[in-house]
Structure 1
Amino acid sequence: MYEKLEMLIDGEWCAGSDGKSEPVINPANEETLGTLPHASRSDLDRALAAAQRAFLSWSATSAFDRSTILRKAAELMRERSDQIATTLTLEEGKAFAEARVEVLSSADITDWYAEEGKRAYGRIIPSRAPGMRQMVLKEPVGPVAAFTPWNFPAVTPIRKMAGALAAGCSCIIKPSEETPGTCIALARCFQDAGLPKGVLNVVFGVPAEVSERVIASPIIRKISFTGSIAVGKHLLKLAAEGLKRTTMELGGHSPVIVFDDVDVDQVVKVVVAGKYRNAGQVCVSPTRFFVQDSKYPAFVKAFATAAKALKVGSGMEAGVQMGPLANARRLDAMAEFVADARDHGAKIETGGDRIGNSGFFFEPTVISDVPDDARIMYDEPFGPLAPITRFKSFDEVVTRANSLEYGLASYAFTTSEKTASAISDKLQTGMVAVNGLTVSTPETPFGGVKHSGHGSEGGVEGLEAYLNTKFVSQAH
């Protein structure tokens, strides 16, 4: 059953005061799941006032008591995981098994922050003068504005909500209007766990209108955004007007470097599962495959065979390995990438077309002999397309892998410890995985460099993002 669509403002579930709304569409069949209310300017102002008022009491609440509420919320997420995962699959499209893992991961993230919030340690610095005590304190930064996209409707919002709440901040979050039900369900877990009213507010509307109104308010002291580079740059300009701290997790175009000492079949098993997870709609999805010459033919053949064997269908169907794209825009984008690759002389090994005419399904696609000037090699595809090209030397592939403005994640496969260390040092990304694809866990920092953003979510760095540092010198 799909989640009831409402906003949360000052502890109350409500509709928008001016009656504006939009439909939420199931990408598997293009049917309407529900009607989502939009916040009016007065609704947003109420949320801001609630966040300001609640911050005073929540920031004064002990870290131990905040932790108790967060841990209860995590328990509720686990108890409701099947229900929340159903909502997630219906509105976003990914396979139910993937959706359930995402919800359970959200509970783990909440637990992590619940515990880490109790360890927001300061320190005592020895003084150079007698009779002086020098202290460093960590304090919550203030009310937070968070903005999240549609591709991970549970994990992306929870990183921001749980991090802010654990640090003692209040939060206004605007999830994607295309996948709102999941975040609403998570917010209900916090409310049912005893979170005081006004600490967490969930609003929807026209993204530009909401962001401009909320970020401009002097109440907001921190902005956390996950989304495109273009929108991230715009929000940074808005934040600059108020000198507000920001965390920006923006686009990626992750290189995958396969050296000639690997077992091709083992590598293909790993990267095919990662490539087509959530139909490739993942900011850290492996998206540019560089394979050393001697292993290139075998890699392409094995990759195409594995991709062709994937079961594609509605995420609610048993055994489905890849669901639909999230919206019609992605279908058009995939067709454009494939056509451009063909125009540049690349070969479509498998896939390349839409599946059927109902729902936003696209074939798992493998493209070989892709030149570096094909669009798919420099623009993030954000879909089930795997471009593969060959390389000769270590220095050559490093130069090509680092040539883009993106710097989120990168991957390499080799059996050589020396090569593994060397490639880890050379890749210009915020995260590197060697002989695997794991770059995101609750206890580790997640974030990029260059145009992929700044700041981290997860790990101790994720909590630090919501804390101010205060120095106190006290003479006796």
Structure 2
Amino acid sequence: MTDYPTLHLLIDGEQHSGDGRKTEDVINPATEEVLGTLPHATPADLDRALEAAQRGFHEWRRTSADKRASILTKAAGLIRERAKEIGETLCLEQGKPVAEGRGEASYSANLLEFYAQECKRIYGRTLVRGEGARAEVQYHPVGPIAGFAPWNFPAINVMRKIGGALAAGCSVIVKPSEETPASGIAVVQALLDSGVPGGVVQCVFGVPSDVSEQLIGSPIIRKITFTGSTPVGKQLAKMAADDLKIATMELGGHGPVLVFNDSDLTKVLDTMVANKFRNAGQVCVSPTRFLIEEDIFDKFRDGFVERAKALTVGNGMDKGTDMGPMANARGLDNIAKLIANAQDKGANLLTGGERIGNQGFFFQPTVLSEVPLDSDIMNNEPFGPVAILNAMPGEAAMIEEANRLPYGLAAYAWTNDPARRRRLAAEVEAGMLAINTGGVSTVDAPFGGVKWSGYGSEDGREGVMACMVVKAIHEG
């Protein structure tokens, strides 16, 4: 097993650790033991990072697309080589099974590899004009970017803040979560080891409000990108608006799953139960509200509960673990309160509903049914291992419930009716819709939401273009 690495800041290509800086402990969610001590950046550290990002931007934007692509491809290779180590580190600090951690590291490498090729596909266009005149549209990197990443996918989310920006020619200061710092540090270090200049990609930590206020308040930063809760996203968006900085916001969700009576129930259950309890449900695109046509509800409910009960919960390092602990004690408290409220409102608890043991942040895979609309869990993202199963009278009611909330990140539907699939694609309000599959994330497709789930996209070509500004040039 990999030892937990020593933690540090990465500013202008240099590592900074103690030296009188404020620190905080990083906790293993499976054992509640201290893994390491994380230094916080001082205001002077952040000023130095900002100055370096300004210099780095001017250097990197002038680096040829071929050279940028070569460096990013090399970094992707290093991350892939280090996937075992990164995956084990991820398991230690975040809790997910080690196989999922390794898969996350590999996906991060795939994403960066895709972005490396996008360096060469940033195209403008020439507009038709009369003889002697010319007009063209160009795309230019927006400038230094501040990225803020959460703890649930500490490698992928950091890469999403970095990859498109570097492909576009921008510099980035990224702040991973203080609860899962080592995974983000590993991703940034791979880029530095591959030849990305020290001022082009940097990694800082600290009290989130202090760091965001100083970085977003600096005129050097031209864009922010954030993944996290809707309330925090609204705060950061207001701060960015004060200086008219552009922003990409990937915020909360409450994923509806529409299950129709013409679907293959065995496939639906095998796919969606695993998807629901992946990473202990701590996934922004997690399927949460299962809206099931009423004539198949009993069969679906029984199959779902049977599969949920069969999951093995344990330390992510242990062989055979299907679901690890929640990442922190906050999650345990939140889930317990939501389940209690739902039961008070009349919901049926079909399985789970309790913490497991008294060491580590383990919670039982939980299934609720007949959950009233006025219960808290039907209106607030649970972000944990709990599924809601409700019977629905038909397509119109299912679509209405899917669209009822102000969130619109990911949605899922299962049907073999081609006409219905087209209707769902048109009518379900979500940034991503998966039909007859559990996947909404691929490196070449945009990832993002609508309504209170945010705006802007990461991944795909859109993730690069979100880091560009447009210039029209007219010649007479």
TM-score (normalised: structure 2):
0.99
CA distance in 1, matches of 2:457, 2:19: 36
Report whether the alignment pairs 1:5 with 2:7: yes
Contact 1:313 1:320 in 2 (8 A): yes
Q: SS of the residue aligned with 2:107?
A: helix
Corresponding residue for 2:26? Answer: 24
Deviation string 1:272-318 (CA, Å, 9 cap, x unpaired) is 01000000000000010111011100111100000000010000101
TM-score (normalised: structure 1):
0.99
CA distance in 2, matches of 1:436, 1:284: 13
CA distance in 2, matches of 1:59, 1:390: 54
Task: State the superposition RMSD in angstroms.
Answer: 0.9
1:124 positional shift = 0.7
CA distance in 2, matches of 1:455, 1:213: 23
Q: 1:76 is aligned with what amino acid? A: L
1:197 positional shift = 1.8
CA distance in 2, matches of 1:137, 1:16: 45
Q: SS of the residue aligned with 1:87?
A: helix
Q: 1:81 is aligned with what amino acid? A: A
CA distance in 1, matches of 2:245, 2:57: 17
1:397 positional shift = 1.2
Q: SS of the residue aligned with 2:30?
A: coil
Q: 1:136 is aligned with what amino acid? A: V
Q: 1:472 is aligned with what amino acid? A: I
Contact 1:153 1:180 in 2 (8 A): yes
Deviation string 1:311-337 (CA, Å, 9 cap, x unpaired) is 100001011010000000000011101
In structure 2, list runs of 5 or more residues that go unmatched.
Answer: none
Corresponding residue for 1:121? Answer: 123
1:474 positional shift = 2.3
Q: SS of the residue aligned with 1:190?
A: helix
CA distance in 1, matches of 2:207, 2:56: 25
Corresponding residue for 1:67? Answer: 69
CA distance in 1, matches of 2:89, 2:103: 13
CA distance in 2, matches of 1:16, 1:227: 28
CA distance in 2, matches of 1:148, 1:357: 29
Please list, as runs of the form range in 1=range in 2, the aligned pairs for 1:163-202 lying within 5 A after superposition: 163-202=164-203
Corresponding residue for 1:85? Answer: 87
Deviation string 1:107-129 (CA, Å, 9 cap, x unpaired) is 000000000111111111111x3
Please list, as runs of the form range in 1=range in 2, the aligned pairs for 1:39-54 lying within 5 A after superposition: 39-54=41-56
Report whether the alignment pairs 1:162 with 2:163: yes
1:130 positional shift = 2.1
Please list, as runs of the form range in 1=range in 2, the aligned pairs for 1:353-364 lying within 5 A after superposition: 353-364=354-365
Q: 2:8 is aligned with what amino acid? A: E
CA distance in 1, matches of 2:131, 2:18: 60
Instruction: Kindly report structure 1 stretches of 4+ aligned residues shifted beyond 3 Å.
Output: none
Contact 1:16 1:39 in 2 (8 A): no
Q: For this pair of structures, how many residues does the alignment match? A: 474
Greater alpha carbon shift after TM alignment, 106-115 vs 390-399: 390-399
CA distance in 1, matches of 2:326, 2:459: 27
Corresponding residue for 2:101? Answer: 99
Contact 1:3 1:185 in 2 (8 A): no
Q: SS of the residue aligned with 1:380?
A: coil
Contact 1:93 1:325 in 2 (8 A): yes
CA distance in 2, matches of 1:69, 1:261: 49
Corresponding residue for 1:33? Answer: 35
Report whether the alignment pairs 1:293 with 2:294: yes
Q: SS of the residue aligned with 2:346?
A: coil
Deviation string 1:386-420 (CA, Å, 9 cap, x unpaired) is 01101002111111110101010100111111111
Corresponding residue for 1:322? Answer: 323
Contact 1:430 1:447 in 2 (8 A): yes
Q: 2:424 is aligned with what amino acid? A: I
Q: 1:373 is aligned with what amino acid? A: D
Deviation string 1:151-170 (CA, Å, 9 cap, x unpaired) is 00011110111111111101
Greater alpha carbon shift after TM alignment, 190-199 vs 210-219: 190-199
Q: 2:242 is aligned with what amino acid? A: E
Q: 2:387 is aligned with what amino acid? A: A
1:18 positional shift = 4.3
